[in-house]
Amino acid sequence: MALKATIYKAQINLADMDRNVYADPALTIARHPSETDERMMVRVLALALGWPQDTNEGTLELAKDMWDPDEPALWHKNFSDEIMHWVDVGQPDDKRLMKASGRARKVTVWAFQNSTPIWWDNLANKVSRAHNLTVWQIPTEQSQALGALAQRSMQLQMTVQDGTVWVNDGQTTVEITPVKLKG
């Protein structure tokens, strides 16, 4: 018998003072049986940090990367179905990133595993010509603390200032300082 997705709901109150983006997205997350709380919460964080300033051409949405290998973790498609922003979470290979770079105006990767420096050392030269690619690393202890906030129903306050993100669930605050590897 196949396992089904677990449904999570998140209401985010986003105040990104670095980009002057203020939004209140409501998410319904279909968490794949093999996805961890940590990865799911990194997807939620990536959505908040990639939320567009101008939503006249749509917004960033959760995609089906765990079910469909041709989709990213998140994407922003405009109303003409053009991919404005492709977001991957984890450690995708160079072929996937180069393909995404050709399909989307902007590509962002959010890596959070302990092995990220090794992965990036092996990948950096292979994707150097992808000028629309930005790669971020979230320190492992910070992504694990973020994963600990996961609940089936979440109210999250996310504040971004000077490159640091504070995620608060009403009881616990997690401080995240992403490190830019490329872009």
Predicted local confidence at residue 67, as pLDDT: 82
Contact in structure between 176 and 138 (CB atoms under 8 Å): yes
User: What percent of the chain is modeled with pLDDT above 70?
Assistant: 99
Predicted local confidence at residue 1, as pLDDT: 53
Confidence of residue 98 (pLDDT cuts 50, 70, 90): very high
Confidence of residue 2 (pLDDT cuts 50, 70, 90): low
User: Which residues have C-beta within 8 Å of that of residue 66, sequence separation ≥ 6?
Assistant: 32, 34, 35
Q: Please say if the pLDDT value at position 159 is more than 60.
A: yes
User: Which residues have C-beta within 8 Å of that of residue 134, sequence separation ≥ 6?
Assistant: 106, 107, 108, 109, 180, 182, 183
Predicted local confidence at residue 146, as pLDDT: 98
Across the range 61-83, mean pLDDT stands at 89
Average pLDDT, the chain: 94
Across the range 115-127, mean pLDDT stands at 96
Across the range 110-125, mean pLDDT stands at 96
Q: Please say if the pLDDT value at position 18 is more than 80.
A: yes
Across the range 92-113, mean pLDDT stands at 97
Predicted local confidence at residue 157, as pLDDT: 98
Nearest-angstrom CA–CA distance, 176 and 146:
8
Predicted local confidence at residue 57, as pLDDT: 87
Nearest-angstrom CA–CA distance, 38 and 181:
20
Predicted local confidence at residue 85, as pLDDT: 96
Within 50-109, residue ranges assigned H as helices are: 94-103
3-state secondary structure of 140: helix
Across the range 36-46, mean pLDDT stands at 97
Hey, what domains does the chain have and what are their CATH numbers? 6-182 (3.10.640.10)
Predicted local confidence at residue 76, as pLDDT: 95
User: Which residues have C-beta within 8 Å of that of residue 30, sequence separation ≥ 6?
Assistant: 5, 6, 7, 62, 64
Predicted local confidence at residue 5, as pLDDT: 87
Nearest-angstrom CA–CA distance, 112 and 89:
8
